[in-house]
Structure 1
């Protein structure tokens, strides 16, 4: 099936992402220029920082040649691949990481708002809460990514709740060493998203703003706190 989707040409695109602010950036990835420096610094800090493994995640999940050392915001690019969501996502069964990006901040908000709503409504007794997110902008080379936009929005990979078909596709793309997939946003009709199966095509990620989502029996507000 991956071969049935056209491959995209070399082009730098800009994507948006929200990450929970309770997870701080991991500066270790940004302090080195290549894999050799990283291995040396990691070994040194591991001797003095017992929390390092928790902060950087499971490095066994990502080979050093996949890490885009030397770019701005390398830690943001690597984090989804070393800190896995065991529940999985649209294109992953939870056994590997995916870097999701959206074409606009509004699209990223729509995607995150949906998943936050689905998660917190299962928590009994939660009447009011405030969740803060960092807004990120990433520049990505989409060369070689497969184009899911050729599939209609009614295709099974775009089912709003059943991820069976989309995970089959995600597993197949990753097994074929495809860098990623461009696809229709499910939570914001007409918008576009990307699922990257490697961080090596990321050219840089910067933080842009902070946003808050207010839970009051449901997510009732999304407010922008800062703008850079």
Structure 2
């Protein structure tokens, strides 16, 4: 089992990466409407009294310290949502106790990663003959300063196991305990490409919508199509 400290530190390069999110989850306006934590607290308390859906929209705020939220950046809600709406089943680098912002080096890489997980999920839904799933494609700018480079590990390493996440989750938990902002690793679903697992949204400087994509299900995902370039 590789130890976190054995992985090289990344130098702090300004990067652009990509992500897909299901279009049924809209941006959370409250994060995007304020410039700092103080403004957020005031607006949150006001809306909490009048908006009964606010808790569902915002998610579990106790899972992320206010100082970790990058208020004032374009797309703050997209950067923060994975940390307040945590998948209880977990992901590659989390057992479900905390959120992770996953990014890919190319939109094609992001599509390959999401396609795999959508295929796996919907294959367990009986009698699903045809469906269309729509996703927002996001472009994210961030810095990798202080992150550890797990991409030095080969795809044969247990951290990159395609199905067993136990080693990757140990590494992710160790990184979070050490306040490491994230990990770079090899894309398992698009070999030869890279992904990042951000353990905090603080490194993000911008995350904006670039396009819409659809995945067509007919017994399996039979196609992925770009369907828009701009819009909400």
Length-normalised TM-score, structure 1:
0.99
Residue 72 of structure 2, aligned match among 70, 73, 85: 70
Residue 41 of structure 1, aligned match among 37, 43, 55: 43
* Partner Cα distance (1:182, 1:140) in 2: 13
Residues 59-98 of structure 1 aligned to structure 2 (within 5 Å)? 59-98=61-100
* Partner Cα distance (2:12, 2:72) in 1: 20
Would you say 1:176 and 2:178 are equivalent positions? yes
Residues matched between the structures, number: 228
Residue 12 of structure 1, aligned match among 9, 14, 23: 14
Residue number in structure 2 paired with 1:211: 213
Residue 56 of structure 1, aligned match among 50, 55, 58: 58
Q: CA deviation at 1:151?
A: 1.1
Residue number in structure 2 paired with 1:109: 111
Residue segments in structure 1 that go unaligned for 5+ positions in a row:
none
* Residues 96-139 of structure 1, C-alpha deviations (whole Å, 9 max, x = no match): 00000000000000000000000000001111000000000000
Q: CA deviation at 1:215?
A: 0.4
* Partner Cα distance (1:152, 1:78) in 2: 30
Q: CA deviation at 1:158?
A: 0.5
Secondary structure of 1:109's counterpart equals helix
Q: CA deviation at 1:152?
A: 1.4
* Residues 15-59 of structure 1, C-alpha deviations (whole Å, 9 max, x = no match): 100000000000100111110000000000111000001001010
Residue segments in structure 2 that go unaligned for 5+ positions in a row:
none
* Residues 44-79 of structure 1, C-alpha deviations (whole Å, 9 max, x = no match): 011100000100101000010000001000000000
Q: CA deviation at 1:10?
A: 1.4
* Partner Cα distance (1:219, 1:59) in 2: 34
* Partner Cα distance (2:223, 2:141) in 1: 28
Q: CA deviation at 1:153?
A: 1.6
Q: Which runs of 4+ in 1 moved over 2 A?
A: none
What RMSD over aligned residues (CA atoms) do the two structures have, in Å?
0.6
Length-normalised TM-score, structure 2:
0.97
Secondary structure of 2:112's counterpart equals helix
Residue 134 of structure 2, aligned match among 105, 119, 132: 132
* Partner Cα distance (2:114, 2:12) in 1: 28
Secondary structure of 2:92's counterpart equals coil
Residue 185 of structure 1, aligned match among 177, 184, 187: 187
